[in-house]
Amino acid sequence: MVHFAGEEGIDNGAMAKEYFTNIMDEIGKNVFPDGSPQNSMLSVHNGTFYSCGQIVATSIAQGGPPPCFLEDCVYDMLVLGSFNMNALIPEKHLTSHEQTLIKSIKDNPTLMQDVILEHEYTGKIDKEHVDDIIGTVMVSIVSKRLLYLNKFRRGLDLYGFSALLQAERDLCKQLFVKGRSEKPADANYLVSCFVPYYSEKGSLWRVIEEEMIDFFQDVLMSMEDQNVTGYIEDLTWNDGEDSLGNMQDNMERITSLSADLTPSGVLGWLTGQKHVPINGEKLRIGVHFDHDCMARNTMHKICFPIVGSCGRDITLPVEHMKTSEDFKHVFMIAYCKGQSFGKK
C-alpha cells in the first residue's frame, strides 16, 4: 500500500500506480543517469541499487511502467553478468557518454589527468601510454558497473526477473532500454478507454452527453498539439505551529505544482498511471454525467468534475460544462488544481 504524506487519498491501487510512475522517472534520472548506474559505492553499501531492482520488478509485475532508462551495452551487461576485461571495445561496451570521455582522454591525456587517476591508473600519463590509460579506464568503468548491476539484478530476483532476462533476453530488452518502450498514451488511446454511462437514446440528455464527450476529446487533442495552457497549484504545509513567529517559515516553504498538460498526464490523473499497460490490460474509465447539481444546491455557481482514480471514473457536472468553452475552462481548473490525492 502507498500513502502520499499530506494527501487525503484513502485508496491504494491508483496511488501505487502513481508512485511507480513517479519513482521510475526518478530512478532513471538519479540512479541510472546517462543510461548507466551512477558511480557510487555508497549506493552499494546502503542498498540503493538493490532496492531499485525490487521496485522495478514490482512495477513490471503490476503492468508497468517499465524501466526504460538503460543503454544497450548496459542492458547486455545486466543480462550476461560478466565480461572479458581484456577485450573491451569502447563502441560495444561503453555508453555514449563514456565514449566521449574516452575520446577526450585519447586526444589529450595530460589534460584529463585527474579523471585518469580517479580510475586508478598508476603508469605514466602521456600520449605514448594512451592505450594503457584507455584500457585501464575502461576496466575501471566496466568492473564497477558490473558490481552495481549485480546488486540491481539481485533486487530484480524479487519476482524472478533474473531468470526471465536470461531466457527472454530480446523480449525483455524493450522494457529496459531507452527509446524501446511504447510511445506515451495519446488522445485517441485515452478516448478509447472511456466508457460513458449515457442517458436513454434519443433523449435531450443523451445529445448533451455525447457533445460533452466530443468536448473532452477536443481538449485532449489540443493537449497533444501543445496548444493548451493551464494553471499552477500552490502547495504549502507547516509543522503544526500556527504562531506568528512561525508564519515566515511557512511562507518560505510554499511550493508550486504544475500539471502535466498531455493526454498521458490526464490518464495519470484519472487512473494513477500515465502509460499503456505493458501486460495488455484494457483500461476502462467510466464517464458519468451529473444533471442534478443545481437541483441539489440552487445557490451555487460552479462545481467541478469528481474523479475516482482507484475506481477509474469521472463524473462531469453537465450544467457547468454544456459548451466547448465552458467544458475546457472547468476541466482545466479541476485538472490543474486537483493533482494531489484528495477531494477531487
Residue 126 belongs to some domain of the structure? yes
Does residue 161 sit in the same domain as residue 261? no
Contact 236, 254 (CB under 8 A): yes
**Residue whose C-alpha is closest to residue 51's, from 147, 153, 146, 162:** 153
Domain boundary among 176, 197, 230: 176
Residue 240, pLDDT above cutoff 50: no
Would you place residue 34 in the very low, low, confident or very high pLDDT band (cuts 50, 70, 90)? confident
Does residue 223 sit in the same domain as residue 322? yes
Work out how many domains the chain is built from and give that number.
2
Would you place residue 194 in the very low, low, confident or very high pLDDT band (cuts 50, 70, 90)? very high
**DSSP 8-state code for residue 217:** H
Would you place residue 90 in the very low, low, confident or very high pLDDT band (cuts 50, 70, 90)? confident
Contact 144, 39 (CB under 8 A): yes
Q: Looking up cell 454511462, which residue turns up?
A: 197
Report the CATH number at residue 230. Answer: 3.30.2410.10
Does residue 257 sit in the same domain as residue 156? no
Q: pLDDT, tens digit, for every residue of 150-174?
A: 999 999 998 888 888 888 888 888 8
Q: pLDDT, tens digit, for every residue of 106-115?
A: 999 889 999 9
- What span, in angstroms and rounded, lies between the C-alpha atoms of 277 and 167? 22
Residue 39, pLDDT above cutoff 70: yes
Mean pLDDT of 18-32: 90
Q: Looking up cell 531499485, which residue turns up?
A: 52
Mean pLDDT of 83-106: 87
**Beta strands 313-317; 285-290: pairing state:** parallel
pLDDT at 244: 42
Does residue 76 sit in the same domain as residue 133? yes
Q: Looking up cell 525483455, which residue turns up?
A: 172
Contact 182, 96 (CB under 8 A): no
Set of cell numbers at residue 107: 586526444
Does residue 218 sit in the same domain as residue 317? yes
pLDDT at 344: 44
- What span, in angstroms and rounded, lies between the C-alpha atoms of 123 and 25? 40
281 vs 36: which has the higher pLDDT: 36
Domain boundary among 124, 148, 176: 176
Domain with 135 in it: 72-176
Find the DSSP H helices in the chain: 13-26, 41-45, 48-61, 72-80, 90-93, 96-107, 113-118, 130-156, 161-167, 169-176, 187-193, 204-224, 247-252, 263-271, 293-296, 324-337
Would you place residue 254 in the very low, low, confident or very high pLDDT band (cuts 50, 70, 90)? very low
Does residue 125 sit in the same domain as residue 212? no
Does residue 203 sit in the same domain as residue 302? yes
Mean of per-residue pLDDT scores for the chain: 84
**First CA to last CA distance, the chain:** 20
